[in-house]
Structure formats: structure tokens, C-alpha cells
């Protein structure tokens, strides 16, 4: 049955299964390209969004976060966790779900899984940043940290930036083998490496996407030559970073929302007033991205609510006229809006 999300009291819900079917139906790389388009639209109208650093609840094991924003017409939020120890227990490091609501009525208009969608939106955001910041001639990327996000990151760089070769490294050889296997027929040339140093050889784009709740040093200063673009995704929490501070001091740093990145990103290692460029300014043509072949550009990615908002907008449009959602009886809908109690008592019979 083909459904159309129309009845305001019934909320379209996209399950994990439906999200997978939707992504296969559109085609993953095509969906990533579409996502970049939605992201660029929203980054260009950055000023009109409600913006706040995400609301984080930290524990010894991880973090649970709420990421809200609104463009004045639609409100969105994502619930997301980050628990690096989870994979040892057969659970994922990151899981998520999210919601869009109509600002005029306050009624939800979409509820969806966002674990898969976060991987797609994070990959699309990385590729969008690289489109503006990486050397135009980039054909090779290093992918350090070969967990849940990694294959999506590589396919996004292929689809958006024309990357042809990916060089994988992870401290866990099984993770590298898994990623290499998953991308064996992707059209990318896949090279498995035994150190981060080996992985970055010849790479113009270096993506770090490791999960460890500590100040880690995945890349040291002597490893980084001039002219590369670094896409640092894994350091996204207070006390959790991936790059040696000296790399930051040699790089031009681009961020999503400075008040959040200064708390959560690689930036937490630098002075509070260290100069950064907001990525939206580059995309809107208000600031320069890469200006020279020698420059080291660093996208200090932590993930921001507006990216999830773009992803939710895309899904809301994409499911229209399809079978890739069900409707949820999530909102009470009494015939007389003030007679909630009457609706409740009638339910007894
Ligand atoms: P994951 O647990 O599935 O994978 C992480 C991988 O990193 C594992 O395979 C692990 O073995 C590897 N690793 C850990 N330490 C390493 C090291 N020193 N060198 C090389 N590899 C190492 O996690 P995931 O879902 O892929 O997420 C990775 C990170 O990205 C997490 O920290 C997560 O919070 C972050 N993340 C950021 C964004 C964003 O928008 N910036 C979005 C999603 C996830």
C-alpha cells in the first residue's frame, strides 16, 4: 500500500528497515549527493536557525545528547548517544532517532530512526566540507578508524569529490578487513594498511573517525605534510580528541558552530579565542575555503543540529508517495480538543 503522510494526528514513522529500503531505492551515493544539496541549502540560510550547543548528559561510559534547532517553520531534534565501549558488548557506539515538528501547530510531522541517517548525514557533511576545502586534484583518501561510519565516509568522498583510492587503518585488523570487504565492489581502490603513517602516504584527504573516550593522538605533527585536508570526525566530546595540538597550530580550522566545537572538538586543545572559520560562511561565499596548495585545512567536525535538520527534511520529502514509512498513533486526537477526558472514558467501553 502506498501511503501519503497527510493526517495531522498520524505521524509518519521511518523504521530502520524502511530507512535501509529508502536508501537502497534512491541509491546510497545518490542519496548522499542529495543530502549535500539539502545541507548546502541550510548552511546558506544559517543565520535564520535557532542555534545552541547540544544538550549533553555525560557518564563514565559515554554521552547522551539532544540536538535541537528550528528554521522558524519546522522544528527538529535528534537523540544520539556516544558509547565507545559498546562495540565490545555487541552494541553500537552511536545510535540515534529524530523528529520534525510543525512550528505553527507544534505537531510532529516525522519520527525516524537516525542511526543509519546519521552515518549518511555525517558522510555527506564531510564530503561537503572537502568539496570546498580539499585540493581539487584529490584522488586518494586515508580512512583511520574503520568502524560503523567509515564506509559511508569513503563513498561520500567518492560520490562528491571524485576520490578513487581509500587507504584503511584501524587498531583492530578485523575492522579494516570488514571495511575493505564491504567496499570491494564499490568502484574504489581499497588498500589495507598496518599503521596510520602507512595509511596517509599519498593521501590528499585524511579522515580520522576513531572512537575512544580520551585525548588520543591518532595523527602526530611530523606525519602531516603541506597541502592536505584533514577531516577529523571522532573527537566530538569533552576529553575526546584525535589530533596532536601542533597539527592544529599549523592548520586553517573550519568548524560547524564555534560555541559547540570549542567544548567538544579538537579545538578544546587551543585557546578560547583561537581563530576559526565557520563552514557556513565558506558555503555562503562569505569566507574563503582553500586559498593555496600548501595550506593544511582542517574540518574539526563534531556534528551539529542543522545537519540533522537537513537530513530530516530530506527524509520527509523522500518518503512522500512511497511505502517506506508507517503511521503512528502518537498524538491524542479527541473530537472536541478540550474533551481529552471524554475520549479517555469512552475508550473504556
Ligand atoms: P565505531 O566504534 O563503530 O568505530 C570506531 C573505530 O575506531 C573502531 O573500529 C576502533 O577499533 C577504531 N579505533 C579506536 N582507536 C583507534 C586508534 N587509536 N587508531 C585507529 N583506530 C582506532 O564508531 P563509529 O560509529 O564509526 O564512530 C566513530 C567516532 O565518530 C565516534 O567517536 C563517534 O562519536 C564519532 N562521530 C562523529 C560524528 C560527527 O558528526 N562528527 C558523527 C558520528 C560519529
**CA pair distance 344, 50, nearest whole angstrom:** 36
Topology of domain 10-116+306-346, CATH: ornithine cyclodeaminase, domain 1 (3.30.1780)
Ligand 1 atom closest to residue 125's alpha carbon, by position in its atom list: 40
Pocket of ligand 1 contains residue 303 by CB under 6 Å: yes
Pocket of ligand 1 contains residue 243 by CB under 6 Å: no
pLDDT confidence of residue 3: 45
pLDDT digits (tens, 9 = 90+) for 80-123: 999 999 999 999 999 999 999 999 999 999 999 999 999 999 99
Pocket of ligand 1 contains residue 236 by CB under 6 Å: yes
pLDDT confidence of residue 22: 98
Residue with CA nearest ligand 1 atom 30: 234
Which residues are registered as beta bridge partners of 141?
166, 205
Distance (angstroms) between ligand 1 centre and the Cα of 270 equals 22
Sheet holding 63-70, edge to edge: 55-58, 63-70, 74-82, 96-102, 108-113, 11-14, 326-328
Q: How many residues appear in the chain?
A: 349
Q: Average pLDDT over the chain, rounded to whole? A: 96
**Residue 6 pLDDT > 60:** no
Distance (angstroms) between ligand 1 centre and the Cα of 29 equals 21
CA geometry: angle 151, 279, 288, nearest 5 deg: 120
> pTM for the full model?
0.96
Distance (angstroms) between ligand 1 centre and the Cα of 150 equals 8
Which positions are annotated as active-site residues?
236
- Which three cell numbers, joined as nine digits, stand for 89? 558488548
Buried b (16+ CB within 10 A) or exposed e, 49-64: bebebbebeeeeebbe
pLDDT digits (tens, 9 = 90+) for 164-217: 999 999 999 999 999 999 999 999 999 999 999 999 999 999 999 998 878 899
**CA pair distance 42, 47, nearest whole angstrom:** 9
pLDDT digits (tens, 9 = 90+) for 218-262: 999 999 999 999 999 999 999 999 999 999 999 999 999 999 999
CATH number of the structural domain 135-303: 3.40.50.720
Confidence class of residue 348 from pLDDT cuts 50, 70 and 90?
A: very high
Helices (DSSP H) in 7-149: which residue ranges? 16-26, 28-44, 115-133
The residues spanned by each domain of the chain are 10-116+306-346, 135-303
- Which three cell numbers, joined as nine digits, stand for 87? 562495540
**CA pair distance 299, 196, nearest whole angstrom:** 19
Report the Cα–Cα distance between both ends of the chain, in Å, rounded: 31
**CA pair distance 117, 26, nearest whole angstrom:** 13
Amino acid at each position: 500500500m502506498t501511503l501519503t503522510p497527510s493526517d495531522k494526528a498520524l505521524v509518519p514513522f521511518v523504521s530502520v528497515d524502511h530507512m535501509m529500503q529508502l536508501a537502497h531505492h534512491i541509491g546510497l551515493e545518490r542519496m548522499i549527493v542529495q543530502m549535500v544539496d539539502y545541507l548546502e541549502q541550510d548552511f546558506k540560510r544559517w543565520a535564520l536557525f535557532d542555534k545552541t550547543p547540544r544538550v549533553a548528559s555525560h557518564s563514565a561510559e559515554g554521552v547522551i545528547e539532544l540536538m535541537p534547532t528550528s528554521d522558524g517553520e519546522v522544528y527538529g531534534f535528534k537523540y544520539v548517544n556516544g558509547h565507545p565501549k559498546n562495540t565490545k558488548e555487541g552494541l553500537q557506539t552511536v545510535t540515534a532517532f529524530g523528529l520534525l515538528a510543525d512550528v505553527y501547530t507544534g505537531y510532529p510531522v516525522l519520527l525516524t530512526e537516525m542511526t543509519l541517517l546519521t552515518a549518511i548525514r555525517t558522510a555527506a557533511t564531510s564530503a561537503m566540507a572537502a568539496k570546498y576545502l580539499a585540493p581539487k586534484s584529490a584522488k586518494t583518501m586515508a580512512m583511520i578508524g574503520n568502524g560503523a561510519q567509515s564506509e559511508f565516509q569513503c563513498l561520500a568522498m567518492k560520490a562528491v569529490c571524485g576520490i578513487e583510492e581509500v587507504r584503511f587503518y584501524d587498531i583492530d585488523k578485523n575492522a579494516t578487513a570488514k571495511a575493505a570487504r564491504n567496499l570491494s565492489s564499490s568502484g574504489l581502490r581499497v588498500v589495507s594498511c598496518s599503521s596510520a603513517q602507512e595509511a596517509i602516504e599519498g593521501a590528499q584527504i585524511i579522515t580520522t573517525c576513531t572512537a575512544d573516550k580520551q585525548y588520543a593522538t591518532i595523527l602526530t605533527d611530523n606525519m602531516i605534510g603541506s597541502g592536505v585536508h584533514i577531516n577529523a570526525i571522532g573527537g566530538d566530546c569533552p576529553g575526546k580528541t584525535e589530533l596532536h595540538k601542533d597539527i592544529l597550530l599549523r592548520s586553517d580550522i573550519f568548524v560547524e558552530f564555534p560555541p559547540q566545537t570549542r567544548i567538544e572538538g579538537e579545538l578544546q586543545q587551543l585557546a578560547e579565542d583561537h581563530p576559526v572559520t565557520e563552514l557556513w560562511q565558506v558555503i555562503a561565499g562569505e569566507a574563503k575555503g582553500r586559498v593555496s596548495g600548501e595550506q593544511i585545512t582542517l574540518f574539526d567536525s563534531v556534528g551539529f543540529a542543522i545537519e540533522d535538520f537537513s537530513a530530516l527534511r530530506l527524509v520527509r520529502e523522500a518518503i512522500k508517495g512511497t511505502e517506506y514509512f508507517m503511521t503512528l498513533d502518537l498524538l491524542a486526537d479527541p473530537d472536541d480538543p478540550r474533551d481529552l477526558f471524554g475520549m479517555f472514558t469512552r475508550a473504556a467501553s
